[in-house]
Amino acid sequence: MNHFEIVIIGGGTAGITVAAQLKRKDKNLQIAIIEPSEKHYYQPAWTLVGAGTFDFKDTERDEADYIPHGVEWIKDKATGIDPAKNEVSTESSGPVTYDYLVVAPGLVMAPELLPGLQEAMDKKVVCSNYTDPEHTWEVLKNFKGGNAVFTQPTTPIKCGGAPQKIMYLAEDYFRKAGIRDKTNVVFATPGTVIFGVPDFAKTLNKIIHDRNIIFKPFYAPVRIDPENQIIYFKYAKPGESNCTIMEGNVIGEELSGDTEIKIHFDMLHLAPPQAAPKFIQDSIVSIQEGPGKGWVDVDIHTLQHKRFPNIFSLGDVAHLPTAKTGAAIRKQAPVVVANLLKLIQTQEAGKESYSGYSSCPLVTGYGKMVLAEFKYDNVRDSDPLISKFVDTTKEQYSMWLLKKYGLPFMYWNLMLKGKA
């Protein structure tokens, strides 16, 4: 029987950061990480890969190089959690038992939730930075004009801003390539607004207006016809059962039935539907019913499990009302570490509190970025140091440099080493 004081499920951003911080605080802790992947990816740079301004190879490193010294790596998939037995089952290593558990396996792509997507995914003119950013770049380079449609699903997704970042970069690329005048750039989202935080929404609404981007809120994608290059949306505005297609319908929208709209695309970029891994959904550690069904049931401030006090969770799999980003994990990890160590030392969890901080580096073109930082309830929460020097609600070249050079450096050299 494999038994460890602390077992961490997931060797992604959250799992490695927590393990590294725990070891820095107490090198005698017996910790194991359960993670099947040989490779570790810096996914925030995939936006830039998709726009041809970052090399995909530079986003990939060997997982082995980032497992903290003294931490046991169980190179296997977790397949179940039984909190009553303090046990994690694995695909081929048998059961692993723990005194304390940190659940951080991330989320999974679920293209099967959008009919037609599995057949179309990363082929021809359908692309996604979430799965194959190099294909996105090929699609952009081969695009000759027509409808360039960018969309996102109704499920929670990693980095809610990513579907619009590539849209701004693509629009800028079409200008540089001399085809913008024969292109309709369409951003169709199930959301109600371009961005939830008013200070940043104001800037983005102006960009959309000035650059003639067609914004379609309340558009929830329901299926894709890859052969005919048509995407179908349900108009999801509350209280309105049908929608009207606006005058001057340059993108050729058509009504299909009472509530569906079909749009032909010459290029389609989308974030696929996303979900918690199946073993999490099937475990009692997830929320069993209601809006957060399938995601891990934690206190949104202490990140301690609401029903099993020796379990903590963070990162994309935790049910937290904030954006699922690496920046969020950077603020969540120290809270988990402090509260878990207090629990080990005193049998009572610490009271460190996470405020919901997340950030979305909104790349709005080549050499331009708006750094959107916020916390729970869509309250702006800018870094006091950066804000002294830069108005982060405006497009800035300095923020582009931060995105392209500063953040990747910080990720590999500080965050994953438990130093940031």
Cβ–Cβ < 8 Å for 186, 216: yes
- The residue from 96, 204, 360, 362 that is catalytic is 360
User: Tokens in use for 172?
Assistant: 């800028």
Cβ–Cβ < 8 Å for 394, 199: no
CB atoms within 10 A of CB 409: 10
Cα–Cα distance measured from residue 296 to residue 128, given in angstroms and rounded to the nearest whole number? 26
Residue 243 among the catalytic residues: no
Q: At what angle do helices 162-176 and 133-142 cross, to 10 degrees?
A: 30
* Terminal C-alpha separation, the chain: 34
CB atoms within 10 A of CB 373: 21
Cα–Cα distance measured from residue 397 to residue 368, given in angstroms and rounded to the nearest whole number? 5
Residue 360 among the catalytic residues: yes
Q: With the CA atoms of 297, 114, 273 and 160 taken in that order, what torsion angle do they form, in degrees rounded to the nearest 10?
A: -120
Cα–Cα distance measured from residue 406 to residue 393, given in angstroms and rounded to the nearest whole number? 19
Q: CA dist 4 to 30, 33, 71, Å? A: 6, 10, 10
- The residue from 8, 29, 159, 263 that is catalytic is 159
User: Tokens in use for 321?
Assistant: 């009302």
Cβ–Cβ < 8 Å for 42, 32: no
Cα–Cα distance measured from residue 371 to residue 367, given in angstroms and rounded to the nearest whole number? 13
Q: Catalytic residue numbers?
A: 159, 360
